[in-house]
Amino acid sequence: MFANGKLLALPYSMRALSANNTGPAQVSFTRDGDTLIVTERVTSLIDTFALDDDGLTGAHKIFQSVGATPFGFDFGREGRLFVSEAQMNSK
């Protein structure tokens, strides 16, 4: 919800991701505003939350990223999701 130019949390709108300490990287809405998407760096998962007419999240789906460490993303033609990956080096 927006009020006075600021984004405010809706009551009862907090939702969990796939696990604790997932390292969320980017959070954004689809262009049509119907879905909230979150990339999880640590688990290499992508969460989607359908939004209802009141802006509250509904169905939660989890997808395995094609590559490791999904980070940022953007939308292309026909609403296709393109995900960038952050290479994690373990030294």
pLDDT at 88: 64
Question: Rg of the Cα trace of the chain?
Answer: 14
pLDDT at 3: 82
SS3 78: helix
Task: Quote the pTM value.
Answer: 0.83
pLDDT at 5: 86
Residue 89 reports pLDDT greater than 70: no
Alpha-helix residue ranges (DSSP H) falling in 1-91: none
